[in-house]
Structure 1
Amino acid sequence: MPDVKETRFRVEGMDCASCAGKIDTAVRRMPGVSDVSVSVTAGSMRVRHDSTSDLEAIRRKVSGLGYAVTPAADVPAEMPAGTDGHDPGCGHDHDLHGRAPEAAAIGGLHGHDHGPSEGPWWKGRKGRLTILAGAALAIAYGIGHLFPAVETYAFVVAMFVGLVPIARRAVMAALAGTPFSIEMLMTIAAVGAVIINASEEAAAVVFLFLVGELLEGVAAGKARDSIRSLSALVPKTALLEADGRTRQVPAEELAVGAVILVRPGDRISADGAIIEGESAIDEAPVTGESTPVRKGEGDTVFAGTVNGDAALRVRVTAAAADNTIARVIKLVEEAQESKAPTERFIDRFSKYYTPGVVAVAALVAVIPPLFLGGVWSEWIYKGLAVLLIGCPCALVISTPAAIAAALSAGARRGLLMKGGAVLEGLGKLTAIAFDKTGTLTEGRPKVTDVVAFSRPAREVLRLAAALEAGSSHPLALAILGKAAEDGIVPPAASGARALGGKGVAAAVEGREVFLGSPKAAAERAALSEEASAATTALNDDGKTVSLLVVDGVLAGAVAMRDEPRADAAAGLKALKDAGIRTIMLTGDNARTAKAVGAALGIEVRAELMPEDKQRIVGELQREGFTVGKIGDGINDAPALAAADVGIAMGGGTDVALETADAAILHGRVGDVALMTDLSRRTMRNITQNIVISLGLKGVFLVTTVAGITGLWPAILADTGATVLVTLNALRLLRPIR
């Protein structure tokens, strides 16, 4: 069996899924081609083919449809036959995820005049054609006014200026397997108008058609720019430290493990961890966080964020192709190719709708003259108007335009949804199950109470910190963090030793000091009733208590707890206000879970194994709930998979991006409510778009058959509806708050 090759092309000018569909249909019919994957958002096409394929013929075929095609810079990859180098259904170019692809594309049943989308509109092929057609129409009006005898011919010439490129693409699309394209309907209507001596209207209709498509393309560019601008956030260069020197290198060449210097005011050029320095990081460009976040040694930073007031040394943790912004763009690209149920229905409907429109237009043109004594020219004119009214452009883009805009807006806030189906499903959730640790809580304990018994609270914390110095245990880090926060410098400890399951002991300033569990502390010192009562009360609040004993005397207590996220209570309330039931599913002990649940006002199910969480999700579904599950994507994997929508909560990790249907990159509980609200607003927007597109067509269909309106209003109804639908969808690009 011959080797299967995979070749990638750069395709410029694609505006929508319909463009991709035309290219897919045409190329798939070429000899030797086994599979085609077209990505609108990446502007690319992957072709799997054998050695008999003529790549130049494939390029010419796509160019004939009106797109600019160039071979990709990389060498085609050869694979043994039968291997599957990518998912043909995903429509995404997996090699482009680290580059600066074109983002969320919005368009209709296009293919009109596809040129590069970058730069001012008048520099593109579509813009130049529209200007030329407008000039030709104006000249025709002038000639007609000065030389009435040749007026008809002037308008015919003006019409052909705009129509010839449209007709050429209509023919190419038909030969490639897409006969009922918008270009074909436009060509039939314009030529028919000339035949019945309506050349002025034919020329005007072609020009208005081009204007409408140009406006739509300009509006669509705003949605593309929303995500494309993310890639521009990452600096092109970085200051690399190597061999004791600092030198400037391209950011894309940074390897994992490299150390870079980030000066105050600079954008950070790679995802990484701070190894030296402390500074306020402005994460607004990536996360939407309005206030800078103070970060120091060990903290994670993202490419594209801005360093504040101090120099930082950062160890790179992800290559340019895998940094947070690159993965966000990659995920949005893939999401754009995954259609929502509503979108799939509209696509199926349009396949029958367009031939149906042609049939209705033909019947309107033929039946009255043949059987009712109508005038042929009058009813052919009405049939042509019906043909224009029936153009499905606005209807076809009603859903993908809104979904593309919503996915783009969500991504800029750190809300990633893997496709239209997920976006649509989020708005239907009636119950959401949350994990506790790392989802509703910060995921790391903090000191909540320092209780003084025989020594002052500050002294208790100082001695406890001395024992924990150098430890990486989460509880030790909590104590050391609290001491640093209070400006306490721990004294040196000697002879430190960990006592398995009990605590830690050492000599500090000539005294024997022990910090450990209440049970272990009771073996070393007598616990008063006051101490026992305080310990019990703290435990009842879900806190872990360590007692400090100094020279056999109980000195005090330190209580710690994994505290709820700052916005958890408000985020859960927003969900409840939206009519969504919330429940906490956790493997933690019941006492701690109930304390956190009481503070947040959420229903609690505790001491659960992963399979228990999955079972509870199933029980909720059987009760009639549409269930969302939110967790860290690891121990919650079974429940995430079982839920109607699984949402990973995490700081841009691979797990957060890949294991669930959606991801909240920056760990805000309130973003769950924003995500569901975005979904509901998107579905309302889609409904509005469908009503606009079908409503206008219905009104003008009636008025056209009644003889009230003609070709001009017909094309205005079509292009006007297209522009209105697109602009309405672009409202979803407004910043999410």
Structure 2
Amino acid sequence: MVNVEEEKNVYRIEGFSCANCAGKFERNVQQLPGVEEAKVNFGASKLSVSGKTTIEELERAGAFENLKVLPEKPILKDDDSTVPVVKPSFFKKYRSLTIASTFLLLALSATVFFEEGSPVPPLLFVASMLASGTQLFKTGFSNLLKLEFDMKTLMTVAVLGGAAIGEWTEIAIVVILFALSEELERFSMDRARSSIRSLMDIVPKQAIVRRDGVELTIPVGQIVIGDTMIVKPGQKIAMDGRILRGHSSINQASITGESVPVDKSTDDNVFAGTLNGEGLLEIAITKLVEDTTIAKIIHLVEEAQGERAPAQAFVDRFAKYYTPVIMAVAALVVVVPPVFFDAPWEIWIYQGLAVLVVGCPCALVISTPIAIVSAIGNAAKQGVLIKGGIHLEEMGTVKAIAFDKTGTLTKGVPAVTDFIQLDNTHSEQDIWAIVAALEHRAQHPLASAFLKGAEAAGANHETLHVEGFASITGKGITGVIAGITYQIGSPKLFSETNADLLSDDVRAQLGTLQQQGKTVMFAGTEQGLLALFAVADEVRETSKSTIAKLHALGMKQTIMLTGDNKGTAEAIGAAVGVRNVYADLMPEQKLDAIKQLKKDYEKVAMVGDGVNDAPALAASTVGIAMGGAGTDTALETADIALMADDLQKLPFTIKLSRKTLAIIKANIIFAISIKFVALLLVVPGWLTLWIAIASDMGATLLVALNGMRLMRVKSDED
């Protein structure tokens, strides 16, 4: 059996006016010959197709909505430049509405200048309806034949009924306002979608590359991994890479949401779309243009925008039964009063038509997706990557948050926090130089902390010659400098050599520092101690304020989970303000802790590095990874990634989630309530087509604007 690889293509779709239309387009594409599978992402306005088909066939499948299908990747010319996308002019884009409005004005004028009974006004009204509603009627008639009930079916039946009883003016206006309402939906959804796509526009389309000693300006599509890119001061970086030469400050706001530029030098990673500051940089390309961090962020956000949130799933289920129920109610409104109460048929047919119009579920259908798309797009611009609507919603319901310690609440890099000189025969710089000379040859994890401390103290160890260097397993290191044997190590190393070295004062200082969760080491000889050093994993500057903000937001529990010893863990926990500390944990014990927390609090988030804490992150309600910009693993595995390692984005994410939930609920309640109130007007016979279309269009517009408010939520809001 021959295994043929299935052809997969992704297309961008222009023209979606509602989620129902997207669903119908998906079903139409699935029925095309050669198509194995089709999936529409309404939030991102994209279509994924497995199998063989053409753009022409896809556009025929979307002809009911006049959909335009474009390849996801730009079409390249022979010279590798892209074919420009021509945007239609305002008149071309809204031609049908313009023509329809013109005919409507002529028709209204004709009712004044022509006598009653003249065929001219009705013909002009019909021309107006055909200009703006031809596609509506085609789809509506097709749906009626297939017994498919959606908003276009409702509108078609309403227009036919209105024509039957001669309500030409009102139904012509209803058709135009319905078309205008659809355009408003398209505009608001496109605006929300483009908020994240606009990030790609900030990436240069060309870059200066050095090949074989020659500098060339070429399209980014021609750049390959290993090329050397030259970025001048003030230029934007076109590709992801690693700095070979140069030093500069880089504005990474487009990737991480950080407003303050970050210093970068040799071997540091840089990202496409970021802005180079004052330095000239030579950068080794590490990713192709389609694999850059910003391209991956945009792709993941668009996928997330297409994921259905629980609220949206509810709306979809509700809308499925809502439309047939509205048609049944309209039929009862038409039939019951005339048959059982001898009411005039003409009045109640009109009322029934108004019920159909007011029953259009436009506002309800758009209430959730526009909020989800706006919130996820805004979060990405603020440096928070949310992987789907369900995670956005869940974040707002979290009652407890667990934190890994190392690299999350702390910086993950040891540093010398305390230096206490115990010998007056050496200067502070001399002691640091001796320590650095020995630690320069060491392999243990704390060596880098001592070297950084020596550099900060201005000590120069390069002139010192070390002989007989040796590592004492589990205790420290030793070496000979200028004929004197020096040791650096734990208190145990020196107490074994000479117990009298650790005086009561020194032991008191040792105990105080150890109670603070610090690792204490000494430097000295067999005859005396030179200095005491305390080393610790430094707490992030933002950890304490972030925990305080979470408590202020009503978080019931904050917990630190760490494999570190109890003393260190409790000291760090007290410093940052978490309410509980679980120490000496293996990875499987962290997992058990998360399971227990879920039993106690139901909704639990876990914040970690995305790799070492993978089991706990996976078991939590929402897994949050630190430093998404630096690790592909965090981008791929976490439910939410904090792109800049910035814990302060956590309270923002919770506030955004809660605001999203509030807006979705408000939109749904408002969309249903305004329909219900309008339908109540049927009882006294007050419902008119004017009221019906005003309530439908007004609700749609207000719901869209309310959802788009989420695009303006800022990370520094109180």
- TM-score, normalization: structure 1? 0.87
Give the paired residue count: 693
Amino acid at match of 1:615: D
Aligned match of 2:544: 569
CA offsets, 1:284-315, max 9 Å, x none? 23222222222333433322221222223333
Per mean C-alpha deviation after superposition, the further-off stretch among 393-402 and 303-312 is 303-312
Aligned match of 1:436: 405
Aligned match of 1:29: 31
Structural mapping, 1:118-133, within 5 Å: 119=87, 122=90, 125=93, 127-133=94-100
Asked if 2 retains the 8 angstrom alpha-carbon contact of 1:170 and 1:183, the reply is: yes
Aligned match of 1:610: 587
C-alpha distance 461-260 of structure 1, shift in aligned 2 (>3 A):
farther
User: CA separation in 1, counterparts of 2:707 and 2:480?
Assistant: 68
Aligned mate of 1:589, from 544, 565, 576: 565
User: CA separation in 2, counterparts of 1:258 and 1:543?
Assistant: 45
SS at match of 1:190: helix
Aligned match of 1:136: 103
Per mean C-alpha deviation after superposition, the further-off stretch among 248-257 and 340-349 is 248-257
C-alpha distance 55-413 of structure 1, shift in aligned 2 (>3 A):
closer
Aligned match of 1:727: 705
User: CA separation in 2, counterparts of 1:172 and 1:194?
Assistant: 19
Aligned mate of 1:155, from 125, 139, 144: 125
User: CA separation in 1, counterparts of 2:657 and 2:525?
Assistant: 58
SS at match of 2:401: strand
C-alpha distance 506-272 of structure 1, shift in aligned 2 (>3 A):
farther
User: CA separation in 2, counterparts of 1:6 and 1:174?
Assistant: 35
Structural mapping, 1:91-110, within 5 Å: none
Amino acid at match of 1:163: G
Structure 1: runs of 5 or more not aligned = 76-99, 101-115
Structural mapping, 1:315-330, within 5 Å: 315-330=284-299
Asked if 2 retains the 8 angstrom alpha-carbon contact of 1:450 and 1:457, the reply is: no
Amino acid at match of 1:589: N
C-alpha distance 124-350 of structure 1, shift in aligned 2 (>3 A):
farther
Using the TM superposition, give the Cα deviation of residue 17 of structure 1 relative to its aligned residue in structure 2, in angstroms. Answer: 3.6
Aligned match of 1:641: 618
Aligned match of 1:79: none
C-alpha distance 72-460 of structure 1, shift in aligned 2 (>3 A):
closer
Q: Does 1:205 align with 2:181?
A: no
Q: Does 1:8 align with 2:9?
A: yes
Asked if 2 retains the 8 angstrom alpha-carbon contact of 1:191 and 1:202, the reply is: no
CA RMSD of aligned residues (A): 2.8
User: CA separation in 2, counterparts of 1:179 and 1:41?
Assistant: 24
Asked if 1 retains the 8 angstrom alpha-carbon contact of 2:107 and 2:124, the reply is: yes
Aligned match of 1:169: 139
User: CA separation in 2, counterparts of 1:472 and 1:278?
Assistant: 28
CA offsets, 1:464-511, max 9 Å, x none? 233334777642322333343444444334346341434344555675
Asked if 2 retains the 8 angstrom alpha-carbon contact of 1:447 and 1:482, the reply is: yes
Asked if 1 retains the 8 angstrom alpha-carbon contact of 2:99 and 2:128, the reply is: no
Aligned match of 1:579: 554
C-alpha distance 714-301 of structure 1, shift in aligned 2 (>3 A):
same
SS at match of 2:337: helix
C-alpha distance 466-171 of structure 1, shift in aligned 2 (>3 A):
farther
User: CA separation in 1, counterparts of 2:232 and 2:415?
Assistant: 31
Aligned match of 1:89: none
Using the TM superposition, give the Cα deviation of residue 262 of structure 1 relative to its aligned residue in structure 2, in angstroms. Answer: 2.4
Aligned match of 1:463: 434
SS at match of 2:218: strand
Aligned match of 1:560: 535
CA offsets, 1:69-98, max 9 Å, x none? 3567799xxxxxxxxxxxxxxxxxxxxxxx
C-alpha distance 250-57 of structure 1, shift in aligned 2 (>3 A):
closer
Structural mapping, 1:618-637, within 5 Å: 618-637=595-614
C-alpha distance 459-246 of structure 1, shift in aligned 2 (>3 A):
farther
Using the TM superposition, give the Cα deviation of residue 521 of structure 1 relative to its aligned residue in structure 2, in angstroms. Answer: 4.3
Asked if 1 retains the 8 angstrom alpha-carbon contact of 2:247 and 2:264, the reply is: yes
Structure 2: runs of 5 or more not aligned = 76-81
Amino acid at match of 1:130: L
C-alpha distance 524-278 of structure 1, shift in aligned 2 (>3 A):
farther
Amino acid at match of 1:305: T
Using the TM superposition, give the Cα deviation of residue 449 of structure 1 relative to its aligned residue in structure 2, in angstroms. Answer: 1.4
Aligned match of 1:39: 41
Q: Does 1:516 align with 2:489?
A: yes
Structural mapping, 1:78-117, within 5 Å: none
Using the TM superposition, give the Cα deviation of residue 41 of structure 1 relative to its aligned residue in structure 2, in angstroms. Answer: 5.0
C-alpha distance 595-124 of structure 1, shift in aligned 2 (>3 A):
farther
Amino acid at match of 1:491: E
CA offsets, 1:89-146, max 9 Å, x none? xxxxxxxxxxx9xxxxxxxxxxxxxxx9x85882563x22222221221222233333
Per mean C-alpha deviation after superposition, the further-off stretch among 699-708 and 574-583 is 699-708
C-alpha distance 291-486 of structure 1, shift in aligned 2 (>3 A):
farther
Amino acid at match of 2:595: G
Aligned match of 1:108: none
SS at match of 1:291: coil
CA offsets, 1:422-444, max 9 Å, x none? 11111111111110001111111
User: CA separation in 2, counterparts of 1:441 and 1:9?
Assistant: 42
